[in-house]
A = this chain, B = another copy of it.
Amino acid sequence: MMPAMKTPIAIALHGGAGVLTRAKIDNSAEREYRTALQAALDLGWEMLCAGGSSLDAVEAVTRNLEDCPLFNAGRGSVYTSAGTHEMDASIMCGRKGQAGAVAAVSRIRNPVSLARLVMEQSGAVLLCGEGAEAFARECGIVPTASRYFHTDARREQLETARRMGRVSVDHDEMQEKYGTVGAAALDAAGNLAAATSTGGMTNKRPGRIGDSPVPGAGTFADNTTCAVSCTGEGEAFLRCCAAHEVSARMRHGGADLATAAEMVIHTVLPGKGGLVAVDRSGAVALPFNTEGMFRAWRSSSGTDGVAIYGEA
C-alpha cells in the first residue's frame, strides 16, 4: 500500500541493540516487541504519508517508544546506581542543522519532547539536570512523579547488577542490551530529522551522560547527507562521533549511506551497538555489530520490515 509519491519518504526506528537471540527471547515477549515496533512504525509512516514533517514524525515515534515500558527510555527507563532514573534525549533537524537535547533529567515523561523545546525555545542546544527541569517547568511541563518510571523488571535488573557489581546490563546479566530508542526519517519536503532517547545503563553512575543527548554522537541530521540515531555503548559512540561520522563519510568521502553506516558500525566504532539511518533518496541502513537490534523501517522505495535478530 505505498502511496504514489513524486518525492521519496522513509523512516527507520530502533528500540535498542544487544545480545538478542531467539534463545533468549520467548515467543510471547517477541510478539510484544514486534507489536510495539510495528505500532511505532505505522504511527511515523502515517504522519509522513499525510505530509507531516520528519521532525514531527521522529518526535512522535520516539515519544511512542518512550511511553512503552518494554524499552529503556521514558516509562521503561532503567535505574541508576542511586536507585533513581536519569534520562537523556536529543533531536536534530537536517534542514537548518538545529539541535536540542536534555541530559540527566529525572521527572520528564517524554524527554524527546523536552529536547525539541530546548531546540526551539531555549537558545541552547543541551541542558542538563535541574536546569533542564527548570526549563521544562517554564514551558508548562508538569513534573512526573518518580513512580511513573518504576517497573518491577527494571528494579530487579538493578538488584542483579548491584549484586554483580557491574554496570550496563539492561535485560539481565546474561543478556546485555543497550536499550535506547530512536528514529530517523525523510519527509516529502526532502527534510531529514533524527531523534534518540534513553534511560542509560542500569546501575550507571549518577551524572553519567552517554551519546544519546549529544548531537553528532548519538543523533545527527543534515539534509545534504543523512539522518542517524544510534544505540549501544554510549562511550564508544561519543569517542568516534559516530552519527556525524556517517554523514562525513558521505559528504567528504563520497560513500553511499549503506557503506558509510556499515563502516562506522563495523570498523570505526570502538565498541558494541548499532544505528538506524535514512538518506535524502529514501534509502535506509540498519547496521549493528551485536547479536540483534530491535528495529523497523519503511521507505517509499518499497522496503519494509520489523526485525529483532541478525540476518541469516
Contact = CB atoms under 8 A, between A and B. Distances in A.
Interface string A205-235: 1111110001111001000000000000011
A60 interface: no
Interface string A140-161: 0000000000000000000000
Nearest to A126: B209
A128 interface: yes
Interface in A46-66: none
A284 interface: no
A165 to B, nearest CB: 12
A244 B244 CA distance: 8
B128 A209 contact: yes
Q: Which of A129, A210, A240 has the most CB of B within 10 A?
A: A129
Contact of A129 (B128, B239, B252, B253): B128
Nearest to A234: B125
A132 B129 CA distance: 12
Nearest to A235: B125
16 contacts: A97-B239, A97-B240, A104-B131, A123-B235, A125-B238, A128-B207, A129-B129, A129-B207, A131-B206, A134-B205, A134-B206, A215-B239, A215-B241, A216-B238, A241-B244, A244-B244
